[in-house]
Amino acid sequence: MRLGGLEMGGTKMVCAIGDEKGEVLDRYVIETLESEKTLHEIAEYFSDKKIDALGIGSFGPIELNRESDRYGYITSTPKPGWANTDVVGHFRFLNVPIGFDTDVNAACLGEVTVGAGKGFRNVIYGTVGTGIGFGVYLEGNLLHGLMHPETGHMLVNRQKEDKDFSGTCPYHDNCLESFASGPAIRKRWGRKPQELYDKKEVWELEARYLGEAMANCIMCYSPERIILGGGVMHVPGLIELVRQETLKALGGYIQKDEITKKMDEYIVLPELSDDAGIIGAMELGKLEMENELS
Ligand code: ZN
């Protein structure tokens, strides 16, 4: 089976050809420029690759409701030139099944298929970087619901160090992304996260926010494993701090060995690093093909 995968990011587009085992056979990366030109170049890449299905993981917001006549669109993004863009429609000429989902859901699916979430039916994958997003995989399926979960904007307690900090989210005074994203760290401390590695107070505060978020995720979704990736999670030792703060935030309420005794195996780093999104995108294509055949 030849699967096409497309990971659509705000700064770059990754196109790949691979197989159902998650093997990437060819890869092509272009810069994200104006929508028409960029999608045309991607379409050209896939046009002669003889793929059986295509999967797309895209930055959002996107329309995932199949009943909507705007299914497959990027909808109201602030990214110039990309609002109301019919992404899926652009690839219909390939005449293959096309799977479509958010970038973070694609990455979640990649980790579930061949990475750190393999073998689990209930997994949360979070990425902490420029933004904070979570893919939620429950009972063997990506969760969508009304749109798709926006777990990165969950409301969290403002920590005392932040009493005068305005955060970065234009919508919420005290959401996770507003306090714990890469830009929030930069705004609060005046330097990029990678320039703050040796500042203990930076990461203790970061871990308190992420720990509270993990506790909320555990209590709302009941995952069997949580995978935390993204640029900010590259900070040495941060994952250990997040595990400790998660236990504190749970307050001993959840008595499961997986959490109380094996936290090191419960909240983990990704295994696929940069490939999670593209492998997940290919898997989206495969699932769409299976869906159409059934
Ligand atoms: Zn927010």
Q: Which domains does the chain have, with CATH numbers?
A: 3-102 (3.30.420.40), 116-270 (3.30.420.40)
Place of tokens 């390939």: 94
Q: How far is the centre of ligand 1, averaged over its atoms, from the C-alpha of 258 (Å)? A: 30
Bridge partners (DSSP) of residue 74 are 62, 85
d(CA 212, CA 197): 22
Q: How far is the centre of ligand 1, averaged over its atoms, from the C-alpha of 47 (Å)? A: 39
Instruction: Give per-residue pLDDT as tens, 196-253.
Output: 999 999 999 999 999 999 999 999 999 999 999 999 999 999 999 999 999 999 999 9
Bridge partners (DSSP) of residue 265 are none
Which ranges constitute the DSSP H helices of 11-136?
35-47, 103-114
d(CA 148, CA 203): 29
Parallel, antiparallel or unpaired: strands 132-138 and 141-142: antiparallel
Q: How far is the centre of ligand 1, averaged over its atoms, from the C-alpha of 28 (Å)? A: 33
Residue 78: predicted pLDDT: 78
Q: In the structure encoding, which two tokens stand for residue 70, read together?
A: 């705007």
Smallest CA-to-CA distance from 41 within 6, 70, 73 is with: 6
Q: How far is the centre of ligand 1, averaged over its atoms, from the C-alpha of 24 (Å)? A: 35
pLDDT at 76 over 90: no
Rank 60-64, 147-151, 260-264, 270-274 by mean pLDDT and report only the highest. Answer: 260-264
Q: How far is the centre of ligand 1, averaged over its atoms, from the C-alpha of 115 (Å)? A: 29
Residue 190: predicted pLDDT: 97
- The sign one gets for the Cα dihedral 60, 114, 151, 239 is negative
Instruction: Give per-residue pLDDT as tens, 4-53.
Output: 999 999 889 999 999 989 999 999 999 999 999 999 999 999 999 999 99
Q: How far is the centre of ligand 1, averaged over its atoms, from the C-alpha of 172 (Å)? A: 4
Greater pLDDT, 20 or 122: 122
Q: How far is the centre of ligand 1, averaged over its atoms, from the C-alpha of 290 (Å)? A: 36
Q: How far is the centre of ligand 1, averaged over its atoms, from the C-alpha of 186 (Å)? A: 17
Give me the chain's average pLDDT, please.
Answer: 96
Residue 1: predicted pLDDT: 93
Cα atoms found within 13 Å of the Cα of residue 256, Cβ hemisphere only: 13
Q: How far is the centre of ligand 1, averaged over its atoms, from the C-alpha of 64 (Å)? A: 21
Residues lying with their CB under 5 A of ligand 1, a single-atom ion: 153, 169, 171-172, 175
